[in-house]
Structure formats: structure tokens, C-alpha cells
Amino acid sequence: MTTPTKTPLLDAIQSPADLRRLPESDLAQVAQELRTETIDAVSVTGGHLGAGLGVIELTVALHYVFNTPDDRIIWDVGHQAYPHKILTERRDRIRTLRKGEGLSGFTKRAESPYDPFGAGHSSTSISAGLGMAVAATLADKPTNVVAVIGDGAMSAGMAYEAMNNAGAMHSRLIIILNDNEMSIAPPAGALSSYLARLVSGGTYRTVREAAKQLGRHLPKFIYDRARKTEEFARNFWAGGTMFEELGIYYVGPIDGHNLDQLLPILKNVRDMEGRGPVLVHVVTQKGKGYGPAEAAKDKHHAVNTFDVLTGTQVKPKANAPTYTRVFADALVKEAQQDDKIVAITAAMPSGTGLDVFEKAFPDRTFDVGIAEQHAVTFAAGLASEGFKPFCAIYSTFLQRAYDQVVHDVAIQKLPVRFAVDRAGLVGADGATHAGSFDVSYLGILPGMVVMAAADEAELVHMVHTAVAYSEGPIAFRFPRGEGVGIELPEHPEVLTLGKGRILREGNKVAILSLGTRLAEALKAAEDLAAYGISTTVADARFAKPLDVDLVSRLARNHEVLITVEEGSVGGFGSFVTQALLEKGLLDGRRPLKLRSMVLPDIFLDHDKPEKLYAESHLDAKGIVAKVLETLGREDEAARALIA
């Protein structure tokens, strides 16, 4: 006897076309089954759960009403798109989410035609959607374009730049504002209060009222006739003014878990003749329909694998505190001594450890929302008035604020301290979140100091150094995850600017490491000893200013010099090469063999960082192989390793 399936309707849906063949009366059950499947899948993969659970009904409704993939649905950030993936021909791979070779945790063009735009970073959907809507008009295609953006993502400047443009364009773009009153943490800023006011009173628009809201945008003569009815007039002025002032029709707020509201309203919006951009304000609950998620403070934004019945998450065994935690604790200690220290996060208080800082110093902690550009210039303003701002931003998200780093901070030599977390590879989030470029993009700026912690004790020294340094901007980078378990210094030192350190002296090969590959470099040196190769290992500490004396000495006194880093081409290795060129140490008079080991020049997909580093040869084995290859070692053991 076969066991009855928990998801009979979902089992018959391969693609949205199958969904669209069902009667509307079945959709509530489809949604229920989709929720069950999402919870079950994430329980074995881990990942972003709460956001997806909040958009289950919306996902079903959108694929039912719109003709995907010809109509385009763009999920902002993409972390809420797991249910969308299940409905769009990827259910068979949903338990590979975020694993090597598996489905991405975000939307990804290469993965499916149902993902018309890739994401990972927030607040891009309205711009991309507007581009698609304009393209449809230019190509005279009847494509509907729907951008689904969260209330958190709506705090970023890009969303406003896009609405400013859209409101003036009369393009047929549909924006769904998915308002769950949550970012990763509770949302920060005035917009969130504004949205709360729109939703206040706890009443949602009925379908008739929403239709009337849309009716306001009907041709004038129809509208004038309609507005004479008293009922119409009663609801006329409710809500939506900010969006409407920008020229975007506002509909809502509506209950995003009620298919009886969602379906007719979405159909209405889809079929409205002659309209411009419309924003449908949908109110949802993050984590909806799963008790442990609804009860959790963060609504289960991101989870480890867990037990479905109890919601208990598997806690990976911790061998050492995370770099993030070490940074946060070190900053708290510094701030106890120095009341000029303030800390800034762009909507990532827990991710950056600033939740710890906030507990100690609530008045000196600023969560500015998803607004990295503003965060940096806001920090510049604080620095210009004598404060010591620590801007804690992931390497990948700091990319968005590059002009602010250059124009508002570096050119003015303002002492903003950048705590660049998630430097290097990050794992399950993949290419959109990898911190591969910060050494390159920060290290080329005049006057910028760039440090990289080789272990967590070094990180504590670097935090202290950043507090003490006030000549201009200074950045220190450190990776995601646990440290190496080294003892932390009681009394951190101010590091000498632009000076590295030698950890092991040898005479044939020199490995110059920047960042946490140092442990692998030291292991490699041990292994090389077994080949009779004497190896020096140095930690550069600074990518800028570079320790040119150290680099020159290593180049003069060794046959091989290898740089190693957790970053892209164009970073530390390039700075070392440039310095050696300028010193005339690469002009052929010396037989120096210089090699630089960097991440490959491709966007690496999600996988375990250690596996990716090994595949990129940035582990001890890879370093040894590089040395043997450079020395032209032909013995069998060397050949096996190089191969």
C-alpha cells in the first residue's frame, strides 16, 4: 500500500501552467501544500525561511494571474523565492538549495527562465522591472512586469530613484510592496512608521474598495461619474499619498494571505487599460503559518537545518568565537574607554555584531536601514565633527557605497573606520555575497589604510589601531565564521602602519600572506620542509600602505616569492608586483620567481568556502604545488601534487 502524499495538488504541478489549469477554489490548498513543502525542504537545507513563508499566497496568486515566464516576476533580494522555485519546475531540486552544484538561494537568470532577473543584493527590482517594462513597450509586446519588493528593501535609495523615474514614465510596471514590518531585524526609519500608518486601523481594502482606488485612475469622464456615489467618496482619500505624489497608482493595503483578495485585485491591476505604474501594498507576516518562525524574534529570517515538529535548529559545533563576535566585543571594550566611538550598520545589526554593541551603547549605535551609501556618508558627517565612526558593512554590500567611500570619505581624508566583514568567500550565499573585491577597490584609493586580519587576535589589534588612527580612512577586513581559536590579547597594540611581520624564517621560498590564508601558508611551509625546501612565511597585515621594505627583502633574499590572499586579481598580489616593479626588483637582473595566488577570475557559485579555496588552490596543498611547480621540481611526489 502506498502512503498518501501530504501534497496531492502540488504533486501535480510541474510548472505554473499546471497551476493555472486548477479552479480558483483549489488555490488555498495549493498554498497550504506549498508552505508544507517549503518548510520541509528548508529543514534539510537550511537557508532563508521566514521571507518565503510570508509570500506563499502571493506566490501562488502571482503565478495564477500572470502568464509566467512570459510575464516577468522579479523578486527583490530573491531570498523569498524558494516557494517560487518550487512552483517553477525546480521542486525536484529544492533540497539542493544553497549546496554545491545545487539551486541558488536567490533568483538567478542562468537557473531558470522563470527568474528574469538575478538578485542577492536588495532594492534592485523596481529599476530592473522598469527596464523590462520599457523594453516591452519598445518591442510592442504585451508583457506584464511585476516587481515584488519588501518593506526593508524599500528603505534603500535605489528604490526611490526607480520610483522617481517610473512615476514620470507611464510604463506598465506593477510594484508589489510586501510589507511584513520586518527587515532582517525590525525595520529602521521613518518609512516603516509611514507604512504602519497606512495600515493602521487594521482594516484592509476590500476588493470593491481596491477596485475603486484603481477607478480613480480611469479616464476622467468615467471617474467623474463614479465618484458621485457616496460609497466611492468615503474611501477616496485613504492612504497611498507618498506613492501617488510620485505618480504611481496606489492600491491597498490588502491582506497578502487572503487569496480572495489577492486574486481579483491582481487581475484588476493586470487588466487595467491605459494605466501607468501601480503599487499594490500587500500586508503579510514573515514566517506565516509555521509556529516556531512566527514566534521567533527574527521570524526565522535565516536558519540552520531544523526539526520540523519542534522547530529546533541544529547548532553547528563551535570551536572558537566568530570573527564578527570578536570584532563586536573588541569594539565594545574600546568604546568603554572612548566616548567618541559610534557604530553604524545598514540593516545588519546581528550579522555585523552591532546588536552586541547596541546593547552596551544604544545611543551610539545607528541602524540606518538598507542604505549602505547613506551609511558611509552619514559616517563621514560624524567623522567631520570629531566622532570616531565604525561603519560595519559586509565587503559585498560596501560595493554599493563605493562613490561615497571615494568622494565623501577618502578625498576629504575623513577618519571613517570600515569594519569590512564577510571578506573572502562566504559559502551558501554564493557569488552575490562573496567578499572578493574589497582589497582591490579600497587599496587603490589614495590615503586609504587597508588591513586584513590573519586571525582573531590580529583583529583585536586592528580594531585598536583603527581607534587610534585619525589621519584618514582606515579599513580592516575579516571573514565570515569562526576564528582559529587563538587567545585574544588583553592589551591590544596599535600596529605600526604599513608594517608586516615574519612568522617563520627560511631562505629559498617566501610566502607573503594577507589575511586568514596565513594558517594555510604556515602549513604549506611545514610540508615544504619535507621536500627540503626552506620557507619564510610573512603576514603583510597591511595591503596599504604596503610594507615595501619587507616585500623588497623577501624578493632579494629568496628564489621564489609567492603572495597569497582571499581576494580577486587586482588586489594585494598586484600591489606587491607594482612595488617590486618600482623598486626595480623585477627587471631581470635578479632571478626572482614571483607568483601571486588569488581567487580565480570567475564568479564562484555557492559552496563550502574551504572546498572552494581548495579548488582555487588557496590551501596548503595548492601553495605547496605552486612552489614545486615554480621551482620546476620534477620528482614523482611533486608531479603528483602539481597535477
Ligand X SMILES: CC(=O)[C@@H](O)[C@H](O)COP(=O)(O)O
Ligand Y SMILES: Cc1ncc(C[n+]2csc(CCOP(=O)(O)OP(=O)(O)O)c2C)c(N)n1
Residue numbers annotated as active site:
286, 372, 400
Half-sphere exposure in the Cβ direction for 40 (13 Å, CA)? 11
CB of 585 to ligand X, least distance (A): 39
CB of 398 to ligand Y, least distance (A): 10
Which partner in ligand Y, Mg ion, ligand X, none is near 429 (CB below 5 to 8 A by kind)?
ligand X
Half-sphere exposure in the Cβ direction for 343 (13 Å, CA)? 33
Strand partners, 537: 504, 511
Q: Nearer Cβ to Mg ion, position 158 or 182?
A: 182
- 3-state SS assignment for residue 602: coil
Strand partners, 620: none
Residues 156, 260 contacting (CB under 8 angstroms): no
Q: Nearer Cβ to ligand Y, position 157 or 381?
A: 157
Confirm or reject binding of residue 152 to Mg ion (CB under 5 A): yes
CB of 286 to Mg ion, least distance (A): 6
Q: Which residue is nearest to Mg ion (CB)?
A: 150
> In the range 300-329, which residues lie near ligand X by CB under 6 A?
302
Confirm or reject binding of residue 426 to ligand X (CB under 6 A): yes
Residue 122 is assigned to a ligand binding site: yes
Cα–Cα distance, 608 to 429 (Å, whole number): 10
Q: Which stretch binds ligand X (CB under 6 A): 271-279, 421-429, 494-502, 519-527?
A: 421-429
Confirm or reject binding of residue 481 to ligand X (CB under 6 A): no
Phi, psi torsion values for 139, nearest 5 degrees? -90, 0
- The one-letter amino acid at 622: G
Q: Nearer Cβ to ligand Y, position 59 or 268?
A: 59
Which partner in Mg ion, ligand X, ligand Y, none is near 405 (CB below 5 to 8 A by kind)?
none
Residues 6+ apart with CB under 8 A from 151: 177, 178, 179, 180, 181, 182, 183, 187, 191, 192, 195
Residues 380, 404 contacting (CB under 8 angstroms): yes
> In the range 180-209, which residues lie near ligand X by CB under 6 A?
184
Confirm or reject binding of residue 351 to ligand X (CB under 6 A): yes
- 3-state SS assignment for residue 99: coil
Residue 151 is assigned to a ligand binding site: yes
* Cβ count near 598 (within 10 Å): 23
Residues 472, 600 contacting (CB under 8 angstroms): no
- 3-state SS assignment for residue 296: coil
CB of 586 to ligand Y, least distance (A): 39
CB of 361 to ligand Y, least distance (A): 22
Residue 245 is assigned to a ligand binding site: no
Give the footprint of ligand Y on this chain (CB under 6 A): 51, 54, 77, 79-80, 121-122, 150-153, 180, 182-184, 286, 347-348, 370, 372, 397, 400
Residues 6+ apart with CB under 8 A from 531: 624, 628, 633, 637, 638
CB of 17 to ligand X, least distance (A): 30
Confirm or reject binding of residue 422 to ligand X (CB under 6 A): yes
Residue 634 is assigned to a ligand binding site: no
Residues 238, 289 contacting (CB under 8 angstroms): no
Which partner in ligand X, Mg ion, ligand Y, none is near 45 (CB below 5 to 8 A by kind)?
none
Confirm or reject binding of residue 449 to ligand X (CB under 6 A): no
Q: Nearer Cβ to ligand X, position 103 or 207?
A: 103
Confirm or reject binding of residue 79 to ligand X (CB under 6 A): yes
Q: Nearer Cβ to Mg ion, position 182 or 272?
A: 182
Residue 120 is assigned to a ligand binding site: yes
- 3-state SS assignment for residue 114: coil
Confirm or reject binding of residue 382 to ligand X (CB under 6 A): no
Which three cell numbers, joined as nine digits, stand for 401? 557605497
CB of 7 to ligand X, least distance (A): 26
Strand partners, 393: 420
CA-to-CA dists, residue 611 to 102, 104, 210, 426, 616, angstroms? 15, 17, 52, 11, 9
Cα–Cα distance, 315 to 477 (Å, whole number): 26
Q: Nearer Cβ to Mg ion, position 187 or 500?
A: 187
Residues 455, 519 contacting (CB under 8 angstroms): yes
Binding to ligand X by CB under 6 A, coded x per residue (else -) over 263-302, reads ---------------------------------------x
Residue 194 is assigned to a ligand binding site: no
CB of 433 to ligand X, least distance (A): 6
Which partner in Mg ion, ligand X, ligand Y, none is near 422 (CB below 5 to 8 A by kind)?
ligand X
CA-to-CA dists, residue 50 to 7, 155, 518, angstroms? 20, 19, 37
Which partner in ligand Y, ligand X, Mg ion, none is near 535 (CB below 5 to 8 A by kind)?
none
- 3-state SS assignment for residue 8: helix
Which three cell numbers, joined as nine digits, stand for 283? 500586508
Binding to ligand X by CB under 6 A, coded x per residue (else -) over 55-74, reads --------------------
CB of 301 to ligand Y, least distance (A): 6
Q: Which stretch binds ligand X (CB under 6 A): 23-31, 204-212, 422-430, 571-579?
A: 422-430
Which partner in Mg ion, ligand X, ligand Y, none is near 302 (CB below 5 to 8 A by kind)?
ligand X
The strands making up 449-452's β-sheet, listed across from edge to edge, are: 365-367, 341-345, 388-394, 417-421, 474-477, 449-452, 542-544
Which three cell numbers, joined as nine digits, stand for 566? 582571499
> In the range 168-197, which residues lie near Mg ion by CB under 5 A?
180, 182
Which three cell numbers, joined as nine digits, stand for 265? 485585485
First and final C-alpha spacing in the chain: 53
Confirm or reject binding of residue 150 to Mg ion (CB under 5 A): yes
CA dihedral 60, 64, 67, 71 (to 10 degrees): -40
Confirm or reject binding of residue 480 to ligand X (CB under 6 A): yes
Question: 131 burial class (0-12, 13-18, 19+ CB within 10 angstroms)?
Answer: middle
Binding site for ligand X (CB under 6 A): 48, 77, 79, 184, 302, 351, 422, 426, 429, 480
> Residue ranges for the binding site?
79, 120-122, 151-153, 180, 290, 372
> Residue ranges for the binding site for thiamine diphosphate?
79, 120-122, 152-153, 180, 290, 372
Binding site for Mg ion (CB under 5 A): 150-152, 180, 182
